[in-house]
Amino acid sequence: MSAIVHNARSIVDSACHATWAQELGAHVVASLIDEACLSPKPGLVDSRGNGSHADLDLALMQRSARALEPAFASMAAAGALAGAPTVALRETLGRIGRDAEATMMATTRGVNTHRGAIWALGLLAAAAATGRGNADAARTAAIAGAIARHPDRGAPGRTGHKGEQACRQFKVAGARGQAQAGFPHLIELGLPELRRSRARGDGEASARLNALLAIMSCLDDTCVLARGGVVALRQVQDGASGVLAAGGAGTLAGRRALRSFGQQAVAANVSPGGSADLLAATLFLDRIDPAVDARPTHQPLRRLHGEA
């Protein structure tokens, strides 16, 4: 009888893990789409237009995100199966991630929409799935960091990607270093600013924009470095800091500063894509964190006053 009970519990546990993995995959995709739709973002694709991108638009970003949902669910399922941040899990995520990148490229006809997001959000989804109690944001990020610090024997020595090249040229940690450190820009900047903005009464769109700006103000964004070097990076960091210093996106002065900052970013042809990936990751952690009061999965975002 005990063996029957044990088997029954195993079946139930497996079903629960599968359901949780599917839920996490859906949360990742919803977070990616929320980030893409958020407006007005300096230099980035949003609901107003293409920002500094000639090859991207909102419809393509949304299509890419939806195509990646099975991969994110698979990464979460791998985390649930592993139950801990092991080397084997890291290598499994690497394989799934490389397949996901191929899916992305097939969906977008060769345009990089979510390469950085596959890395960051794949790690976080797997980390959250290692145990139901791991959805706490700080704990999830710490587990993701532990996974990322393991080597992946299946990974290519060099990819030739622009972010990787920028890391070598400008001696910055990039997405890999951010993950291995446990995503400090999410835990120390993005999430605190998101929740601080909500607490003081900012609308959800303003709170999310402020979270993005907080990340941008400090991140050595390799997408910016690849396009404009150190000068462009400093301009982006200073621009983001200036909007927050003016009161953030929830104030008239802040919105004016944000509009000016956005115009400068497009004129300089820079796009803080690394910051955008981390905002999506911030929104994902915010969604699954049990410490956060329940709220609708998709909140209607009020249009900002004066938004073009």
pLDDT for position 162: 81
Q: With pLDDT > 90 as the criterion, what percentage of the chain qualifies?
A: 80
pLDDT for position 38: 98
What is the phi-psi region of residue 239: left when phi exceeds 0, alpha when psi lies from -120 to 50, beta otherwise? alpha
Structure confidence by residue, pLDDT tens digits, 292-305: 654 444 343 433 33
Q: What is the DSSP string of 247-287?
A: T-TTSHHHHHHHHHHHHHHHHTT---HHHHHHHHHHHHHHH
Asked whether residue 158 is domain-assigned, the answer is no
Contact between 184 and 142 under an 8 Å Cβ cutoff? The reply is no
Q: Is the pLDDT of residue 15 over 70?
A: no
Domain count across the chain: 1
pLDDT: which is higher, 307 or 62: 62
* Two structure tokens written together for 29: 């995709």
pLDDT for position 63: 98
Structure confidence by residue, pLDDT tens digits, 230-281: 999 999 999 999 999 999 999 999 999 999 999 999 999 999 999 999 999 9
Confidence of residue 18 (pLDDT cuts 50, 70, 90): confident
Please report, in angstroms and rounded to a whole number, the separation of the first and last CA atoms in the chain.
Answer: 68
pLDDT for position 133: 61
Q: Is the pLDDT of residue 54 over 80?
A: yes
Asked whether residue 225 is domain-assigned, the answer is yes
Asked whether residue 308 is domain-assigned, the answer is no
pLDDT for position 304: 39
Q: Domain range for residue 277?
A: 2-150+172-288
Asked whether residue 160 is domain-assigned, the answer is no
Asked whether residue 213 is domain-assigned, the answer is yes
pLDDT for position 295: 45
Asked whether residue 159 is domain-assigned, the answer is no
Asked whether residue 219 is domain-assigned, the answer is yes
Q: Is the pLDDT of residue 9 over 50?
A: no
Q: What is the mean pLDDT of residues 69-73?
A: 98
Q: What is the mean pLDDT of residues 144-173?
A: 89
Q: With pLDDT > 70 as the criterion, what percentage of the chain qualifies?
A: 87
Rounded to whole angstroms, how far apart are CA atoms 236 and 271? 9
Asked whether residue 176 is domain-assigned, the answer is yes
pLDDT for position 76: 97
pLDDT for position 157: 72
Note the residue count of the chain: 308
Contact between 178 and 185 under an 8 Å Cβ cutoff? The reply is yes
